[in-house]
Structure formats: C-alpha cells, structure tokens
Amino acid sequence: MLHDLNSEALRFENRADAITKMIELLPVHQMCHEGWVVVAISAEGVPVAEGIAKKLGLGYDLLFTEAIYAPNNPECQIAMVSETEEIVIHTELVDSFGINLDFIYGEAHRKYEEKVLKYVYKYRKGDLIGSLKGKNVLLVDEGCETGLTVLTCIKTAISAGARSVSYATPVIASNVVAGLEAVVDEIFTVFRVANFVDVDFYYRTKEPLVQEAVKAIIEASSNYLPFQKTGEVKTCSILLK
C-alpha cells in the first residue's frame, strides 16, 4: 500500500515489531518448502535476517557492500561495490557532477581491498558468499531509501547463480519500488512511502548497531550459514506445524 504522508501510523515500535509485521507478508510455506536463503544486505539488516530465519527455521547469510562517494561531497553516494566486486553506479548523479568513471572504479577497488575484504574475514572467515547458487534468495534490510545497496546485492546474487531473487524490507521509498520491480521476482514491504524521510524516522525506538553487536548476533545464531558446522541441516519450523 502506498502512503503519501509521514505520520505516526507509519512507524514501527522497534525492530522486533517491524520483523513481526514483515513475516506476516512473506510466503512462509513456499520459503520453507523450497529452502530459501535469507541474506542481510547491511549490518542493520542482520537482526531482520536473524528474526526471519529463526522464525522459519531457515539459514541466512550476510552480503557485504561499501559505498563510493562523490570526490567533493563525502555524504553523496554515487556508486556501490559488493564483495564479489560487482559495481552499481548512480548514473544521473555521476553525469550531473561530471565524475570520471576511472575515479569510481579506482575507489571501488580501494574500498574493496581496504574494507570489504576485512568484513569478509571477520564475519565469514575469509570466504566469499557461496550460499546463493541455485537458491531462491530473499534479500532483507531494515529500510530502503535510495535502492543503491539492494541493486548492488541483486546484481551480486544474480551473478552468484541465484535461482530467484526477492527483496523484503519493512519500509521503502515508493519512487524506488518501480526501479526494483524490474529486476527482482517479488518485493515484500509493510509501508511504501511517497515522501520518504529516512529509515530511522519510521522506528520509534531503534538502537544503533555497532560491529561488535552484529558479530555477537551471528556468533550466537544457529541459523547463520557461514558459522554452521559441516553437515548441519536446518529444518523449517513452519512445515512442522
């Protein structure tokens, strides 16, 4: 449903509230039957992925990306690079600022070497994401304002051989939806907001997530795929009911 106004009705109490409402929209029986893989596309998306995966008894992973900013504006994202070095460029911004593509590719390589690989070693023991081939993938985050991150992750999942790619997020800017619908199988969201403020606005209470908190969540999880023991099998809880 499209919401034109920003009001109290368009706000979640907290992350748990958002996760509960998200799960109500998901095709849980299909996901369980087909053994979908849930993938967080940001640190903030980890509690969402953990909540969905734990409720459904599915495995989840974490896909790493890093933003590339305009040379004269450190707050303006112009591109994104993923852990498999897939790059998505905000063409309109790049053209309007007259930014050279060599700058973008150079920054992408630098961010990949200096930041992305460190995340891969810290959160996946050095292995690039390998859980997507032939799988139905559900990318998740806690909100979507521009779509640049999810577009990068969609491209990465497709390149990794995913069978299908869907996207779930509690709240999304309505102008982003049209661009995403052309490249994903399904979009699941509670609120589509026309006059989007920022993700934090739509949560009454949302504690910031530091790296240590994210690491603690995945280390304590029995659903985080990279840390599972070899041969460990998940059984979808929905199918047992």
Q: How far is residue 72's CA from residue 191's CA, in Å, rounded to a whole number?
A: 34
Output the CA–CA distances (angstroms, integers) from residue 40 to 71, 126, 195, in the order listed: 28, 17, 25
- In contact, 22 and 190? CB cutoff 8 Å: yes
- In contact, 162 and 133? CB cutoff 8 Å: yes
Last residue of a domain, one of 104, 128, 152: 128
- 192 and 142: one domain? yes
Q: Which residues contact 121 (CB under 8 A, 6 or more apart)?
A: none
- 140 and 120: one domain? no
- 28 and 146: one domain? yes
pTM: 0.91
- 24 and 136: one domain? yes
**Residue 208 located in a structural domain:** yes
Last residue of a domain, one of 128, 150, 169: 128
**Backbone φ, ψ for residue 149 (5° rounding):** -65, -50
Q: How far is residue 195's CA from residue 173's CA, in Å, rounded to a whole number?
A: 7
**Residue 236 located in a structural domain:** no
Last residue of a domain, one of 78, 110, 128: 128
Q: Mean pLDDT throughout 52-70?
A: 96
**Residue 238 located in a structural domain:** no
Which range of residues forms the domain containing residue 144?
Answer: 1-63+132-223
For residue 64, pLDDT over 60 is answered with yes
Locate tokens 């600022």: which residue? 97
Predicted confidence band at 232 (pLDDT cuts at 50, 70, 90)? Answer: low
- pLDDT, tens only, 70-114: 998 988 999 999 999 999 999 999 999 999 999 999 999 999 999
Task: Count other C-beta atoms under 10 Å from residue 230's C-beta.
Answer: 4
Residue among 132, 192, 198, 195 nearest 165 (CA) = 132
Annotate 18-38 with three-state secondary structure: HHHHHHCCCCHHHHHHHCCEE
- 49 and 138: one domain? yes
Predicted confidence band at 239 (pLDDT cuts at 50, 70, 90)? Answer: low
Question: What percentage of the chain reaches a pLDDT higher than 70?
Answer: 91
- 124 and 10: one domain? no
Q: How far is residue 121's CA from residue 237's CA, in Å, rounded to a whole number?
A: 31
- 57 and 168: one domain? yes
For 141-224, list the strands marked E by DSSP. Answer: 164-173, 187-193
Q: How many domains does the chain have?
A: 2
Predicted confidence band at 209 (pLDDT cuts at 50, 70, 90)? Answer: confident
Q: Mean pLDDT throughout 8-21?
A: 90
For all residues of the chain together, what is the average pLDDT? Answer: 90
* pLDDT at residue 124 in the model: 85
- 150 and 38: one domain? yes
- 44 and 17: one domain? yes
- 98 and 213: one domain? no
**Residue 24 located in a structural domain:** yes
CATH code (residue 13): 3.40.50.2020
